[in-house]
Amino acid sequence: MSEQTTAAPGVRPATGRLRSANSTRAIHGQRRAFWLFIAPFLIGLVVFVYFPIAWSAFLSFFDAQGTVTPTKFVGLGNYTTMLTDKAFVSSLVTFSAFALLIVPTTFVMSLFLAMLVNRVRVARAFFRSVFFLPTACSYVVASLIWKLSIFNGVRFGMANTLLGWIGVEPISWLASLDPPWYWLVIVTARLWLQAGFYMILFLAALQNINPELYEAAYVDGAKPGWQVFRHITLPLLRPTSISVLLLCLIAAYQAFDEFYNLLGAVEYARPPLVYLYHLALGSQQNFGLGSAGSLILAAIIAVVTVLQGKILGFGKPGD
């Protein structure tokens, strides 16, 4: 390409005409190639992402029980039903509480593990693998281990066995509302599953920090430990920290698997997706209400994501 361009001024007019015919053909070829490359994805995006949302918006204005081609228009009825539905509103509260619990704990745990692994001199790859290994587990498998073994409410559950050794009566971890022990079960399961993932991100960032900065801080009299961490490490990790917080929050929005498998459909801890699942795919098959709920949730998430991006100075497209 570049050779042709530099040669261009020297060529005679006849060749110039040929070139422009060539380049028109080239542009046609280019446009055709663009569509050929992008068409499979674009068609799928329209059919399986944009069209469902549009159809859902349509359904949300109809009484659509057990049908996806409804005839009874109800206007904003589904939206007012959902927004005044105590169960739906409480699911939004559950989900906010969950985000408040899981995001900071994951952040602290993954950063803590990354710093430990980063400074250890022996068997670093081994430790990294151990903390990363749960990434290979599904939420279903973790729920199974947590529900039926670690936090089994009967006497032979692991946590209850340990408590038994110090003379504490067995606790029914998932059924107890006061204190709400189920949060311990839910949060530790996800913490175990995802801490290693975020640890990898922090580890990569830590290894990019120039060691000379620490030496300079030492020479300037900064005490190793908290001072160095607070004034050197943490500021340098800022971009990664923001990524981790956002990714963690986005993952928390989608909480379904562990709630569904650990708690079923109990009313005291039912995040929106679990509620919508039972509404739209349970015996009611209420696609109208389910669609309205999905769209309300999507709108909330989109607003929060944009606001968060603005506040944290993140999320400009293309960088």
Partner 1 sequence: MDAHQPTAVGYRRSVTDRIANGAGLAVLLVMTLLFLIPFYLLIRNGLASTKDITAPGWTLFPRDVQWHNLVDLFNDPEVPMLSSLRNSAIVAVLTTAGTLLVCSLAGYALARINHPHSNKIFYAVLATLMIPGAVTFVPSFVIVSWLGWVSDYRGLIIPALFSGFTVFLFRQYFLSFPKELEEAARIDGLGYGGTFWRIVVPNSGNFIAAIAVITFIQSWNAFLWPLVVAQDESAWTVQVTLSTFITAQTINIPQLFMAAAVSILPLVLVFVFLQRYLVQGVAQTGLKG
Cβ(117)–Cβ(131) below 8 Å: yes
Stretch that binds partner 1, among 50-58, 72-80, 90-98, 173-181 (CB under 8 A): 50-58
Which of 282, 258, 259, 286 is CA-nearest to residue 91? 259
Q: Which of residues 178-197 bind partner 1 (CB under 8 A)?
A: 192, 196-197
* Position 313 contacts partner 1 (CB under 8 A): no
Cβ(19)–Cβ(7) below 8 Å: no
* Position 65 contacts partner 1 (CB under 8 A): no
- Between 181 and 286, name the residue whose CB sits nearer to partner 1: 286
Buried b (16+ CB within 10 A) or exposed e, 175-190: eeeeeebbbbbbbbbb
Q: Which of residues 227-286 bind partner 1 (CB under 8 A)?
A: 240, 243-244, 246-247, 250, 253-254, 256-257, 260-261, 264, 273, 276-277, 280-281
CB of 165 to partner 1, least distance (A): 9
Tokens of 217: 């801080």
Which of 134, 109, 142, 132 is CA-nearest to residue 259? 142
* Position 119 contacts partner 1 (CB under 8 A): yes
- Between 13 and 82, name the residue whose CB sits nearer to partner 1: 82
Cα distances (angstroms) measured from residue 278 to each of 88, 215, 230, 255: 11, 58, 46, 15
Stretch that binds partner 1, among 13-21, 81-89, 94-102, 128-136 (CB under 8 A): 128-136
Which of 177, 147, 133, 165 is CA-nearest to residue 268? 177
Q: Which of residues 18-37 bind partner 1 (CB under 8 A)?
A: 29-31, 33-34, 36-37
CB of 204 to partner 1, least distance (A): 5
Q: Which of residues 86-105 bind partner 1 (CB under 8 A)?
A: none
* Position 130 contacts partner 1 (CB under 8 A): yes
